[in-house]
Amino acid sequence: MGEVYLARDTKLGRRVAIKVLPDSVAADPDRIAMFEREAKVLASLNHHNIAALFGMEQAGGRHFLIMELVEGQTLAGTIAAAPRGLPLPVVIPIALQIAGALEAAHEKGIVHRDLKPANVKITPGDMAKVLDFGLAKAFSIDGTSGDVSDRATITATHLAPGTIAGTPGYMSPEQARGQAVDTRSDIWAFGCVLFEMLTGRMAFSGATISDTVVSILERSPDWSALPAATPPHLRRVLSRCLEKQPKARWRDIGDVRIELEDSREWALPAGPSERKGSRVRERVAWAALVLVAAAAAALLTAVRTAPEAREARVDLLFPRDVSPDFAQIALSPDGQQVVTAMNFGGP
């Protein structure tokens, strides 16, 4: 969508990024209009996880944007350095920051439409910055738009009416079909990025663009590629992001962010207090198991010594952190085993 250069703001003494239109389309009215629209989109956003726009200028017949210079490498580069996927303590904070950036854009009525690892920078301070709103568009309340750019381009090289807007491999099914898109298309792309962070591979790919589109429309991701340690809660969040029918997908990226907040505890390494709490729960669990064994022995003794009895009563006292579920108690047909569900006060 443009060429980006490192530059220095001599007035304010800071380094910035300068984005200009390529020479081949610098005089194209449609591209200039799209360039100006990107500037307006960025000017309406103010979020610490979105690269900021400082200004738009024109000189010598050329249009250019003055933007925040984001140091670091792209998320694509970070993933490439970890072909088996990033660890959960790295994935969850990045995912939360990307979700926060999308939430800010969606609240302003803006759909990014080209979210992918290459459009996310990770700073040396581990802050995620979403870049390149060049394909972004405003959407109406009913999610429809007459904007011809809905059918603008499938690559970043040119615009041609009748083709598709987006990057193969991260486009939602409705986007791949050239249909109108809304915020749920960004949620799909977010799911693709999350899957790639977890596994080190794209959720949907193919030898050609056509093969990739077929994969998006007809196939499911390889769920077996997810690490075995991926929490069930996170799997559910991800699967709902990648529902092929928009109505079955998460409706709001803010809901996804909240769900990911619940996954944060799975991603954090245990600190001293957490390890101490874990040991306490472990001791409580063992105590509870001893009590269950004693209860089972008492119950079995009652059954054996009084075969004519139809029931036996056993009174038990459990530690405060233990919650037995006697609604799920079961006695084997031969009277030899007793089973019940118990909560030991921790995950």
The catalytic residue positions are 114
155: tokens are: 């690559």
- Output the 3-class SS for the chain: CCEEEEEEECCCCEEEEEEECCHHHCCCHHHHHHHHHHHHHHHCCCCCCECCEEEEEEECCEEEEEEECCCCEEHHHHHHCCCCCCCHHHHHHHHHHHHHHHHHHHHCCEECCCCCHHHEEECCCCCEEECCCCCCEECCCCCCCCCHHHHCCCCCCCCCCCCCCCCCCCCCHHHHCCCCCCHHHHHHHHHHHHHHHHHCCCCCCCCCHHHHHHHHHHCCCCHHHCCCCCCHHHHHHHHHHCCCCHHHCCCCHHHHHHHHHHHHHHHCCCCHHHHHHHHHHHHHHHHHHHHHHHHHHHHHHHHHHCCCCCCCCCCCCCCCCCEEEEEEEEECCCCCCEEEEEECCCC
Q: How many CB atoms lie within 10 A of CB 125?
A: 7
Q: How many CB atoms lie within 10 A of CB 64?
A: 23
